[in-house]
Amino acid sequence: MTHDIAASPHAAPTAPSATLEGDAFTPSPDSALWRRDFLLGAATASYQIEGAVAEDGRLPSIWDTFSATPGKVLAGDTGAVACDHYHRWEGDLDLLEALNFEAYRFSIAWPRVMDASGRPNAKGIGFYRRLLERLKEKGIQTFATLYHWDLPQHLQDRGGWLNRDTAYRFADYADLMSREFSGLVDAWMTLNEPWCSAYLGYGNGHHAPGLAQARYATQAMHHLLLGHGLAVAALRANDPHSAKGIVANVGRGTPDSDSPADRTAARRFEVQHNAWILDPLFKGEYPAELFELWPGTEPLVLDGDMQTIAAPLDFLGINYYFRTHVKSDGAHGFVEVPLAGVERTQMGWEVYPDGLRDLLVGFRRTYENLPPVYITENGMASDDRVRDGQVDDAQRISFLKRHLAAVDAAIKAGVDVRGYFVWSLLDNFEWAFGYERRFGVVHVDYGTQMRTPKRSAELIARFIAERGARV
């Protein structure tokens, strides 16, 4: 999932296009969503669903440490059990198949597959091998994320992403995984949301490891992106037929007024949220304006680093959830502007589909070498309850339809979007918010581990089946 910072409510959204109407997912006849080469999938992450944190040689991660620290996670929740996916994975893949999803994006837990000396852990590797082989048997495409925030604690003890050596250890990990699973992975993603890892983990302390200095955030980001570039080289060497990419969470910033100061504030919001990651990847440089926003925080960059970071990619994963309305802080930055009377999710995030369309179109304009795009996460949290054996998540249904319509609008505007993954398959451990916020299209009773597909899941399954029947 994306960042846990509370977003202000913002101005009411405008639907990007009426391609999906009524209760069912039924796009207009000319919608790109009918194309059989447009992939529809679901996404999860290891620490959020697996549990079994001390089984079969798995080592502690920074999220085990962080969530066990009093006051860091709502209600003192941890991922120790989560959805018990480590033991229930076969049933979860059966559920994925029953819902007709064409692709599954999951993450590998780094602490589960290597020991502290970098040697492979056969039991952990075996778990992911069985998972991948079963997905292949079911004809479901495999999208594997190498790093979804669960850094081994022993590496954090040596500085974590502030230590340049962690980038090289990440490359070792990518090398091992791509040798072990060559031919089983359709698409590799090196990092999930480096903005969250760097800023929330090292800039404001809201996420593990809980450090809070802007200078830490920019150096951590550089080492994350360096690790990404080194990992891409290993993935290409060991698994040449798979696609290689990275996943960035992006934010839409809009100004509170048409004043030059507020327009600058909105632009700098997007520099901090988007260009900080995308400029190094696609321009080979950090945006200078970032260091006007955070003076004196330039990271240590060695010769050749930026070329490594800017290695060509086969695709870019985009995670989108909300926009942020801002005004100038009177200096170099921005402040959020809370606006009343808007639709929000359980997270307090505004429902703003136009932001996804606008960002996709803007990235195509800004980056001449932008590769094909997958929406690797999009979804919303709601306080879902099972009533009479059913979950009627009407707001989520509306949310998903409007955001799929925004994707369709971006495709019609010329953006090469190849697929869409709903976040998430299952309700799960939502980082600093524990188990209170439910993002799944499948409800999980954490006491019994019973899975109940929500109305949104049923409608998605129906649409995918209908699309398949058209061919």
How far apart, in Å, are the Cα atoms of 216 and each of 1, 72, 161, 294? 22, 20, 9, 12
Per-residue model confidence as pLDDT tens digits over 406-434: 999 999 999 999 999 999 999 999 999 99
What is residue 81's predicted lDDT score, i.e. its pLDDT? 98
Residue 161 counted as an annotated binding residue: no
SS3 412: helix
Give the N- to C-terminal CA distance of the chain in Å, as an integer: 33
Residue 423 counted as an annotated binding residue: yes
Residue that has been written with the tokens 């048997």 in this structure: 137
Chain centroid to CA 110: how far?
17
Helix (H) or strand (E) holding 452: strand 450-453
Per-residue model confidence as pLDDT tens digits over 381-407: 999 999 999 999 999 999 999 999 999
Residue 148 counted as an annotated binding residue: yes
Residue 1 has pLDDT above 50, yes or no: no
Domains of the chain: 32-470 (3.20.20.80)
**Positions marked catalytic:** 193, 377
Residue 219 counted as an annotated binding residue: no
How many C-alpha atoms does 103 have within 13 Å on its Cβ side? Answer: 26
Region 86-103: mean pLDDT is 98
Residue 368 counted as an annotated binding residue: no
The whole-angstrom separation of Cα 222 and Cα 314 is 21
How far apart, in Å, are the Cα atoms of 31 and each of 34, 38, 155, 239, 352? 6, 11, 47, 34, 20
The whole-angstrom separation of Cα 383 and Cα 41 is 23
pTM for this entry: 0.95
Residue 110 counted as an annotated binding residue: no
Tell me the two tokens of residue 185.
């992975």
Confidence class of residue 330 from pLDDT cuts 50, 70 and 90?
very high
Report the relative pairing of strands 373-377 and 450-453 from DSSP bridges. Answer: unpaired
Using only C-alpha atoms, the chain has a radius of gyration, in whole angstroms, of 21
The whole-angstrom separation of Cα 204 and Cα 76 is 20
Chain centroid to CA 91: how far?
24
pLDDT, the chain, mean: 94
Residue 249 counted as an annotated binding residue: no
